[in-house]
A and B are shown apart, each in its own frame.
Chain A
Amino acid sequence: MTGDQDIWIVGAAMTKFGRFPDLDLLDLAADAATSAMRDADTDMSKVGVLTMGNVYEASSNNGQRLQKQIGQTGIPVYNVVNACATGATAVRVAMLSLLGGESDVALAVGVEQMGKMGLLGGAAKGKPAKKEFAPKGRYGSVVKTEGVLGTGLMPGVFAQAGTQYALAHGVTAEQFAKVAQKNHAHSTLNPLAQYRKEFSLEEILAADVISWPNTLPMCCPTGDGASALVLTTGAKLRTLDPDVRRRAVKISASVLTSDPWVAGGQVQPDVNTLTRQAADKAYEQAGISPADLDLVELHDCFATAELVHYDNLRLCEPGGAGDFIDSGAPWRDGRTPVNVSGGLLSKGHPIGATGVANLYEVATHLRGEAGDRQIVGARVGLTHVIGLASACAVHILEARAA
């Protein structure tokens, strides 16, 4: 059924993720945006609002800069930054514009040109001429605290999220490593993935430790890429070409959360509560249960993260994430395929693009157009992103009823 207030994806595209030193942010965004409009059989003359998600060049008004490459039509532009949920937030802002009646066709773009940034989360500062201890900042610190008072680097934060779960529920390093084994194996079927190399469990466990239990293949790479969606309202969809309607994918739930206060959450970020709250609300909005999901694209920035999110997204029994990966359930031929794209671990994680690209992935499966990696007969899928600060977005998509 096409309710007037439903929002539909009618165009979806992403660039290959990887390292493209000769392309700038606008090249990547223009590629994804024009591909998504072509996919929707539309162009900038029909688009009523543009939302743009980007993190590392967020103060550059990239939405307007993109318009100057693909079409300046005077429409409202929203530039969005929201940690690793930036792309998903751009999609959500586009939805709010449609639901608010500002427009009836929206273009949402996520893009990042990162290059080889290395470890994220530990910004280096220049040294003053004379070293004289004086308390600075909100903790009155006199030295840089990374490595002195534990770690706040991304691999370490998500490793600690994993070991917290492991200490409570008995997960092993091998079980965490199986997540990476799965996602790298999945990526071999995805021509858009940054890496497409399979690793054995032994290779993953024996690889360089970055932040235990995460070894190198258990950490996502930095990289470049873009993704874009064209969205429209149910009312508008009824007026579009039958081929566009046939391939339309319904956004059955769209939820954005931030991290609520929990004891200790300002010391070690709590990636669980906001994900649980987003997931529960999304299942309620869509009127489905986790058992109804044909595929899930979740935020596996590190292998430890994917494992705890099995539990946070209610894909497994409470405390049972280790058994869930052991059972093979999240493999592409399992009960609830997770990250059949290769996930962030192998497909890549150009930060601003990620939360759009996972919607592209699920929509492509629901349209039956995912090629070698197609989950046959997929009708319902979920996407999840979380970024530290924190922000979490969960979307549930449904194929158009035949």
Chain B
Amino acid sequence: MTGRIPAVDYLALEPEPHLVARVCTACGAEYFDRRNGCARCFGTAFEPRALATEGTVTAFTVVHRAAPGLPAPYTSVVVDLDGGGSVKANLLGTNDPAAIMASTKVRLTTFVAGVDDDGVEAIAFAFEQIGGVA
């Protein structure tokens, strides 16, 4: 068996890769994990909402000393997506703090994060700077 599977269940691969939040129907709070209730308003009803694929970097770090077995350096970013939703992922294409601070607009992209023994690819999301590296 071969094929593709999202690395996390809030990543939808079709028709184009995008993130899907679980949104509280009462207050609009957005979550990515399976929910028992809303941490903001205590509501218990949620609906999926497709999120925008572009956004703005609000925080970042370049990890040089990683957990054992992980390649470094890599850049972690927190991105506020246009229209709502805040998400953490890797930034591809640069590990230069000055370049990241100079150009904070990013768009969603995907990459293969692993392959299992059946040849199934785990597809993860990441971000890349809009307009390339400054």
Contacts and interface: CB of A to CB of B under 8 A. Distances in A.
Contacts of A135: 5, 9
Contacts of A240: none
A156 B86 contact: no
Contacts of A160: 59-61, 76, 78
A150 B64 contact: no
A268 B122 CA distance: 23
B63 A151 contact: yes
A323 B74 CA distance: 30
Interface of A: 119, 122, 124, 130-133, 135, 138-143, 145-153, 155-156, 159-161, 163-164, 166-167, 173, 208-214, 261, 263-264, 266-268
A173 B78 contact: no
B51 interface: no
In order of increasing CB-CB distance, the 6 nearest A-B pairs are A140-B9, A264-B86, A150-B76, A159-B61, A164-B59, A138-B33
Contacts of A213: 61, 97
Contacts of B61: 151, 155-156, 159-160, 163, 211-214
Contacts of A261: 29, 39-40
A180 B52 CA distance: 39
Place the interface of chain B in its size category. Answer: 35 or more
Contacts of A264: 78, 80, 86
Contacts of A166: 101
Contacts of A209: 62, 64-65, 73
A132 B113 contact: no
Contacts of B32: 139, 266-267
B77 interface: yes
Contact of A211 (B64, B86, B88): B64
Contact of B117 (A130, A163, A211, A268): A130
A243 to B, nearest CB: 50
A268 B78 CA distance: 7
Interface string B36-68: 000110000000000000000111111111111
A133 B116 contact: yes
A153 B59 CA distance: 15
25 contacts: A122-B67, A130-B117, A133-B116, A139-B8, A142-B122, A143-B7, A147-B63, A147-B74, A147-B90, A148-B7, A148-B90, A149-B89, A149-B90, A149-B124, A164-B78, A208-B64, A210-B63, A211-B61, A211-B62, A211-B65, A214-B61, A264-B78, A266-B31, A267-B88, A268-B78
Nearest to B127: A150
B65 A119 contact: yes
A224 to B, nearest CB: 22
Interface of B: 5-10, 29-34, 39-40, 57-74, 76-78, 80, 86-90, 97, 101, 104, 113-114, 116-118, 120, 122, 124-125
B22 to A, nearest CB: 10
Given A133-B120, A151-B76, A140 B10 contact: yes
Nearest to B84: A263
A143 B63 contact: no
Interface centre among B33, B68, B88, B113 (most CB of A within 10 A): B88
Given A150-B89, A212-B97, A138 B34 contact: yes
A322 to B, nearest CB: 14
B68 A124 contact: yes
A329 B104 CA distance: 32
Given A145-B7, A147-B90, A211-B61, 10 more contacts: A132-B120, A139-B8, A140-B6, A142-B122, A146-B66, A149-B8, A150-B90, A167-B58, A208-B65, A264-B86
A261 B106 CA distance: 26
A210 B40 CA distance: 34
A132 B118 contact: yes
A338 B97 CA distance: 28
Nearest to B68: A124
A213 B61 CA distance: 7
A143 B113 contact: yes
B125 A149 contact: yes
